[in-house]
Chains A and B, each alone.
Chain A
Amino acid sequence: MTDLPPSGVFAFEEIGVELDLIPLAAHRALDVAGRHLSLAAWRNLPIEKRRILLDQGRGEVDQKAVQAVTDGAEPPAEPVAGDDEGRLEAPPAALREVEPTLQDIGRWLQLGKLERFALCHLSSKRATTLTSALDEIVGPRFLTHLSAQGEARMVDVGNKPKTHRRAVASATVRMKPTTARMALDHSGPKGDVLATARLAGIMAAKRTPDLIPLCHPISLSRVAVHLDVDVDRGEIHIKSATEARDRTGVEMEAMVAASVAALTIYDMLKAVDRGMAVEEVVLLEKSGGRSGLYRRDPGAKP
């Protein structure tokens, strides 16, 4: 099974290429064409026919084409009233409550029919996947940091609940092996590299809102910085972990901690190795909040 969902299937549906459940796009095609298929009937359809229904739901639905596919279904498809999709013109109240950015009807109509169908469908069923669906469909499309005129602003988090937040970030400093040996031996020109870098990372995390323009001040409950020296490869690996119980995430705090620890290593050793490089500052993991858990795929290239 491939990692990417088939075209027309949303990632949050977690339906693979064999289409073992009825995807929302197929639900839409069936609704418009006025046919109901049980899960058993869907699974009895040959995969090519399931793909046809999936495909139909992605654009303008050809009712006759959908009906032709379902005519051979076993158990037979039930005729139901066809959906003229008039209700997709405006988001239902329940949906607007959960996602206030959809109060703006212009933004709602920027979404495609399949996306609007999916959100209405999940909202009416009070599905547990509605939150993931909103993140996938609405999240990336409406950049919440830019106002209508493209002015940058801090997002209003006042209504968000405080939840437990955690983030882990890493950075690597590349240097000559002899330089790395100095860091380990505490024989660098400016003194104890590792202890200084660790402290710098921790202190920097606490100042993140002053450094990153649109970050919110957060009450950090924990900051930890861990350093690992690999003399043979000439690398120092930094890992930072941050925690808070707050309204917004602590990813930037973790990334600032890792970055500043790295820069401090550079400062402490630059007299003996100006060619050092700060590399690969990445978020490894975050948890908490509406978007939930993220874990970096170890094989991924940014």
Chain B
Amino acid sequence: MSELAAQASKSQQSVRILAFAGVREVVGSDSFEVTLAGPCSVAELLDLICARYPALAPRRPSVRLAVNGAYAKPGEPVAPGDEVALIPPVAGG
């Protein structure tokens, strides 16, 4: 995503989602935007993402969310302008 587009997303009510590994395949791109109606929790954001990409739903229990580079618990807040990464588990033990 270009610098300009990234700045534009910060000024709207949206969050940039980075997709990695298996999630990238489902989503078809390495990043996308989600518009937030208001303050939202990590769990609620995951709900929105799975609604948009139903194929992600089966993976949902094993995908972890990192907000601005650090793992976040389901109840923690996500704010416009945050960068959220969807991290699937590493295959194998």
Pick from B7-15, B43-51, B53-61, B68-76 the stretch touching chain A.
B68-76
Q: For A1, A18, A20, which residue has the most chain B Cβ atoms within 10 angstroms?
A: A20
Which residues of B lie under 8 Å from residue A18 when comparing CB positions?
Answer: 90
- Is A40 an interface residue when CB atoms closer than 8 A count as contact? yes
Is there contact, CB below 8 Å, between A39 and B69? Answer: yes
Q: Per a CB cutoff under 8 Å, which of B69, B76, B90 touches A21?
A: B69
A13 at interface, CB cutoff 8 A: yes
Q: Which residues of A contact B27 (CB under 8 A)?
A: none
Q: Does A43 contact B (CB under 8 A)?
A: yes
Within 8 A of A (CB), among B56-89: 66, 68-73, 76, 83, 85, 87
Q: CB-CB < 8 A to B70: which residues of A?
A: 13, 21, 127, 129
Contact A20 B87 (CB under 8 A): yes
Residues of B within 8 A of A39 (CB): 18, 66, 69, 83, 85
Interface size class of B (residues with CB under 8 A): 10 to 19
- By a CB distance below 8 angstroms, the chain A residues around B73 are 128
The complex places the Cα of A37 from the Cα of B48 at a distance, in Å, of 28
Q: Give the residues in chain B near A13, CB-CB below 8 Å.
A: 70-71
Chain B nearest Cβ from A98, distance in angstroms: 17
List residues 6-50 of chain B with CB under 8 A from any CB of chain A.
18, 20, 30
Q: Quick one: given A16-B90, A39-B85, A128-B76, are A21 and B66 in contact (CB under 8 Å)?
A: yes
A22 lies within 8 A of chain B by Cβ: yes
Chain A residues numbered 31-53 whose CB sits less than 8 Å from any CB in chain B: 39-40, 43
Closest to B87 in A: A20
Once the chains bind, are A21 and B30 in contact (CB under 8 Å)? Answer: no
Residues of B within 8 A of A97 (CB): none
B66→A1 contact, CB < 8 A: no
A129 to B70, CA, bound (A): 9
B20 and A1 contact, CB distance less than 8 A = no
Distance, CA A294 to CA B90, complexed state (A)? 27
- Minimum CB–CB distance from A86 to chain B (whole Å) comes to 24
Q: Chain B nearest CB: distance from A293 CB in Å?
A: 12
The verdict on A301 contacting chain B, using a C-beta distance below 8 Å, is: no
Q: How far is the CB of B66 from chain A (nearest CB, A)?
A: 5
Quote the shortest CB–CB distance from B57 to chain A (angstroms).
22
> Could you give, for residues 109-146 of chain A, a 1 whenever the CB lies within 8 Å of some chain B CB and a 0 otherwise?
00000000000000001011100000000000000000
Encode contact with B along A39-83: 1 for CB under 8 Å, 0 otherwise: 110010000000000000000000000000000000000000000
Task: Check if B93 sits within 8 Å of A1, measured CB to CB.
Answer: yes
B90 touches A125 (CB 8 A): no
For the complex of A and B, the 8 pairs showing the least CB-CB separation, nearest first, are: A18-B90, A14-B71, A21-B66, A20-B87, A128-B76, A39-B85, A22-B69, A129-B70
Can you give 6 A-B contacts (C-beta < 8 A)? Answer: A15-B71, A21-B85, A39-B85, A40-B20, A125-B68, A128-B76
Show the binding face of A for B, using Cβ within 8 Å: 1, 13-16, 18, 20-22, 39-40, 43, 125, 127-129
Point out residues on B near A: beta carbons under 8 Å: 18, 20, 30, 66, 68-73, 76, 83, 85, 87, 90, 93
